[in-house]
Amino acid sequence: MSHETSTAPEQATRTEIPATHPAPVIAVSGLSKRYDSGFEALKRIDLEIQRGEIFALLGPNGAGKTTLISIICGLVNASAGSVLIDGHDNVSDYRAARAKIGLVPQELTSDAFENVWNTVRFSRGLFGRKPDKAHIEQVLKALSLWDKRKNKLITLSGGMKRRVLIAKALAHEPEILFLDEPTAGVDVELRRDMWEVVRELRSSGVTIILTTHYIEEAEEMADRIGVINRGEIVLVREKAALMRQLGSKQLTLQLQKPLASVPPALARYPLSLADDGNVLVYTYDSHDTDSGDRVAISTLLNEIEAAGIRFKDLHTKQSSLEEIFVNLVRERQ
């Protein structure tokens, strides 16, 4: 079963970019990273991020998500390959490249004894922007931090610290925002708030790249989804395309006697045999109207009876993004 669900995304390993898209805002090519320990965190990654999209990078722990982000943002040196940020090489032209990026790291780091306002103001200055109280006020208000602006960071809860990190990343008005596991360990309410902020940012033209291992988050937010595993990008697809795949359902029949091949009488159905002919699998699209579907299945079952095929059990199942993801990841191991 796992094979059927994973073959389709496998074919889509290449990035799908419609010809009408302008130049990508981030172009990663041939990016590799081998740490001094010998660990190969990234293996010749190619990835393009389009301007204004929300891109979700999915992957299990240790897949290379954070290493990839760290190289793009300048925290880690690449072993090979290049990164262009809006046309600027992130090493030779690092000033122009980095000025466009805001980074919200995974770890909740903070200058414990500094207050919210000062730490956000510091971030803006660090990125070379002139002080702008109005902008910082706006950022703090958008993140419900305004009332806490005079509080020391050490007194804030984890969720509030996460907001402060986002405020710091937005202080210099970046065009690209990286959110590394933004909702890890965050309560439901804050997660919703954060999604709202991300949507507002996107509507103001900011490109957003988020890493997560929550599938729902990718489903909820992303325009495109990339899956990374063991340092390799294994899939990049439009979320809509993936959702269509999500819609595919399977009817599985456990046969009493194995079949050598699908009988010609049933050739018009997309049927396939599995498990040495002991299992008959019917794949169909649940997005078809329910009634049409039901008729199709009952018709199919009648025709299977008529063809003299006896089955001892049957079940249906809908593949989820999680399943696609798990299968992809398992297959590569």
Q: Environment class of residue 152 by beta-carbon count within 10 Å: exposed (0-12), middle (13-18) or buried (19+)?
A: middle
* Exposure on the CB side of residue 235, measured as CA atoms within 13 A: 27
**Between 31 and 309, whose beta carbon lies closer to another protein?**
31
Where do we find the tokens 């006697």? 257
* 107 binds another protein, rule: CB under 8 A: yes
Sheet containing strand 311-318, edge to edge, reads: 271-274, 279-285, 248-255, 311-318
Find all residues with CB under 8 Å of 94, minimum gap 6, and list them.
74
36 binds another protein (CB under 8 A): yes
133 contacts another protein (rule: CB under 8 A): no
Q: How far is the CB of 118 from another protein (least distance, A)?
A: 7
In the list 22, 95, 267, 333, the residue contacting another protein (rule: CB under 8 A) is 95
Q: Does 96 bind another protein (CB under 8 A)?
A: yes
Shortest gap between Cβ of 213 and another protein (angstroms)? 20
Cβ neighbours of 268 (radius 10 Å): 9
- Judged by CB under 8 A, the residue of 28, 45, 58, 99 near another protein is 99
* CA torsion, ordered 173, 179, 184, 186, to nearest 10 deg: 20
Which listed range, 12-20, 119-127, 239-247, 262-270, lies at the site for another protein (CB under 8 A)? 119-127
Interface residues for another protein in 70-89 (CB under 8 A)?
73-77
When asked if residue 101 is in the footprint of another protein (CB under 8 A), the reply is yes
Binding segment for another protein (CB under 8 A), chosen from 15-23, 52-60, 67-75, 254-262, is 67-75
Does residue 237 bind another protein (CB under 8 A)?
no
Site string for another protein, 166-185 (x = CB under 8 A): --x-----------------
Query: Which stretches within the chain are classed as H helix?
Result: 2-11, 65-73, 94-99, 116-126, 133-142, 158-170, 188-203, 215-221, 239-246, 290-306, 321-331
| Residue 172, amino acid | H
Choose, by CB under 8 A, the member of 56, 103, 116, 271 that binds another protein: 103
Torsion on CA atoms 17, 19, 23, 26, rounded to nearest 10 = 0
Please tell me the distance from the alpha carbon of residue 216 to that of residue 219, in angstroms, as a whole number.
5
* # binding residues, another protein (CB under 8 A): 35
Minimum distance between the CB of residue 313 and another protein, rounded to whole angstroms? 54
Q: Whose Cβ is closer to another protein: residue 78's or residue 300's? A: 78
Residue of the chain from 17, 126, 295, 307 that contacts another protein (CB under 8 A): 126
Asked if 162 touches another protein (CB under 8 A), the answer is: no
- Residue 129, classed as helix, strand or coil, is coil
| DSSP track, 226-249 | EEEETTEEEEEEEHHHHHHHHTEE
> Does 130 interact with another protein (rule: CB under 8 A)?
yes
Residues that bind another protein (CB under 8 A): 35-36, 73-77, 94-99, 101, 103, 105, 107, 109-114, 118, 121-130, 168
